[in-house]
Chain A
Amino acid sequence: MIAVAESAISIRNLSKTYPSPFRRLRAFFRRPVKEPVEALREVTFDVHSGEIFGLIGRNGAGKTTLTKIVATLVQPTTGTVNVRGNDSVFHDEQVRRQIGLATAEERSFYWRLTGEQNLMFFARLHGLSDRIAKQRIRELFAKLELEEVARRRFGEMSTGNKQRLAVARALLPHPPVLLLDEPTRSLDPLAAARMRELISSLAKQDPPVSILLTSHNLAEVETLCERVAIISRGRIRAIDTPQHLRGLTSKSEQVHVTVSGLNGTNESERISFTRQVGDNELDERLRDLQSRGARILDVETLRGSLLDVLEMYESKGETQ
């Protein structure tokens, strides 16, 4: 359920084709000419204010190009991207004031500077005064558990800490829109869980942060995102809640019910059956079990996963 339907990011008919560089010059010298690469075609969707929106797809599907266009680093061939009402081509500086981007790219920092010095540099570029920047950096280091490595050179940090520093940098200017590219890829399970908590809390804070999350970790996308878009070969194939998307692959689901006290015994027992999504069979079965004196200990339902949905669209794309 989305409380506010106002768009933080609005993408309309976005297409991007990387032109073949120096095509005419190469043709003139009779050098092989590369074909233009179509990275995105007619992409349209909105990320609502305070929403965590997931973007999933295979490598080369167009996720990075899409993120870079939103971040104003690459210009679209056709179509528009608006970030809180600002066009990404004509008001690119305004757009950059509104967004923070965290990628898993380690080379985006200065390796001989400490974590603190790196963030200070970027804070100054954002126009923060030294006093405010120092305070903000302290806050972020505390929030992301980076205090111990604040004065360590970036090159000497662990991969996980480097990734957390990238998230801290993205959050420096309090951006209302956050673009996250695999934010937990290099984190240990505990740190990953804390990062997910942080992401979740950002979307709930006042004012909320709208998040476009690209990830290969489907479980993470499912846990965090209110809506998910599946991108394949540059096209958006489906946009919906993770629950509805899972329902696309199969109309039935496996149900496992763990009960005790059935047939007068105290031993727990597992009962499995298949039902059609949306029918009354689960209610009826549970009522029947309770009427027979059983205590319901656990109910587990297994429907098609996001991976199944992804596979379905990939195989559809191949046959097209």
Chain B
Amino acid sequence: MNGIRLLPRRIFAFVARDFRLFVSYRMQFFLRIISVLAVVTTLFFISKISAGFTDPRFTQWRDPFATWLTGLAVLNYFMTGFSSLANSIRQEQMQGTLESVLLTPINLPTVIVASSAWDFLETTFFSFLYLFFGRVFFGVQFRGSFFLAVIFLLLTTVVLACLGILSASFAMVFKRGNPFGIFLGAGSALFSGVFFPTQLLKEYAGPTLGNISLLLPTTHGLQGIRQVLLEGHGLSQVTQPLLVLLGFLVVLLPFSLWVFSRAVRRAKREGSLIQY
């Protein structure tokens, strides 16, 4: 009970700490803003090459520039949901600060969630920046319910956070961070339809490889958000990706929490939690 009451204060402690660390690298912050602008501008000009040649089968790709921007913004967010949980504990382990944090009356799940909070805030800002630059400098129009899009965003992020919990468990026991990172990072960019329609994979690489995209929560999350933001669909038209994401959540949430509790027990027994 006391832990729940103190949770906001503890999350604030981590956010305040990370904000201070963040502003101690000011130049990096400005360079990142510039790099987002450079990516958005580059995508705008690449989209001009294919203007008017879009395949009518791919309804979400009528304006490839807008589709890429939503893809990048959302992928950025999903990857944070997935990787920050594992990275947070690994980073504290490597810095040598995990021991001193764990000496306070705070439990490990709180440490993991609270130390990821700043990553989410930062990613929200930079993801928003993709859409903001697209809208302000290149006139991209977004329609549909932003509320529904946010629900998709949160749901997919929670599903990916379950994978992140599995990854954090792995980092705790094996002292290696992000083991699923390569699969989900590169895999999502290739198979989730961030840069091109997933149907093309099936056509060119065959159904086996093409169906990999269906196994990734990012594919369904991205599909739902684009249907809402770019095609203006309502809730009744996006039930399929919504149900798939809920299915992922029902399976992954209890499983990841079970694995995590086992990992914490093992790490404490072996004394590997505070090693790096």
Return the chain B residue nearest A114 by Cβ.
Answer: B20
* Cross-chain contact A113 with B21 (CB below 8 angstroms): yes
Q: For the complex, is A271 an interface residue (Cβ under 8 Å from B)? A: no
Interface string of B9-42 (1 = CB under 8 A from A): 1101110110011001000000000000000000
Return the chain A residue nearest B101 by Cβ.
Answer: A125
Return the chain A residue nearest B273 by Cβ.
Answer: A73
* Cross-chain contact A107 with B21 (CB below 8 angstroms): no
Contact of A121 among B16, B99, B270, B271 (CB under 8 A): B16
Count chain B residues whose beta carbon lies closer than 8 angstroms to a beta carbon of A. 32
* Cross-chain contact A117 with B20 (CB below 8 angstroms): yes
Contact partners of B24 in chain A: CB under 8 A: 112-113
Count chain A residues whose beta carbon lies closer than 8 angstroms to a beta carbon of B. 34
Secondary structure at chain A's binding surface: helix, strand, loop or mixed? mixed
Q: For the complex, is A60 an interface residue (Cβ under 8 Å from B)? A: no
| CB proximity to B under 8 Å, residues A173-211 | none
* Cross-chain contact B107 with A93 (CB below 8 angstroms): yes
Secondary structure at chain B's binding surface: helix, strand, loop or mixed? helix
Interface string of A106-145 (1 = CB under 8 A from B): 0111101100010011101111000000000000000000
Contact of B13 among A100, A101, A125, A169 (CB under 8 A): A125
* Cross-chain contact A121 with B17 (CB below 8 angstroms): yes
Q: Which residue of B17, B21, B100, B270 has the most chain A CB atoms within 10 A of its CB atom?
A: B100
B31: min CB distance to chain A, Å: 18
Contact partners of A279 in chain B: CB under 8 A: none
Interface string of B103-126 (1 = CB under 8 A from A): 111110000000000000000000
Contact partners of A19 in chain B: CB under 8 A: 269-270
* Cross-chain contact A122 with B96 (CB below 8 angstroms): no
* Cross-chain contact B271 with A108 (CB below 8 angstroms): no
B270: min CB distance to chain A, Å: 6
Contact partners of B96 in chain A: CB under 8 A: 105, 107-108
* Cross-chain contact B271 with A112 (CB below 8 angstroms): no
Contact partners of B106 in chain A: CB under 8 A: 93, 125
Contact partners of A65 in chain B: CB under 8 A: 271
Contact of B21 among A109, A112, A120, A124 (CB under 8 A): A112
Interface string of B248-276 (1 = CB under 8 A from A): 00000000000000000000111111100
Interface string of A62-104 (1 = CB under 8 A from B): 0001001001111101000000000000000110110111000
Q: For the complex, is A273 an interface residue (Cβ under 8 Å from B)? A: no
- Cα(A72)–Cα(B12), bound, Å: 25
* Cross-chain contact A107 with B271 (CB below 8 angstroms): no
Q: For the complex, is B214 an interface residue (Cβ under 8 Å from A)? A: no
| CB proximity to A under 8 Å, residues B142-199 | none
12 A-B pairs (CB sep. < 8 Å): A73-B103, A73-B274, A101-B103, A107-B95, A108-B100, A110-B17, A117-B17, A124-B13, A124-B16, A126-B105, A127-B10, A127-B105
Task: Kindly list 6 other residue pairs between chains A and B, CB separation below 8 angstroms, not including A125-B101, A127-B6.
Answer: A18-B270, A93-B107, A96-B105, A112-B24, A121-B17, A125-B13
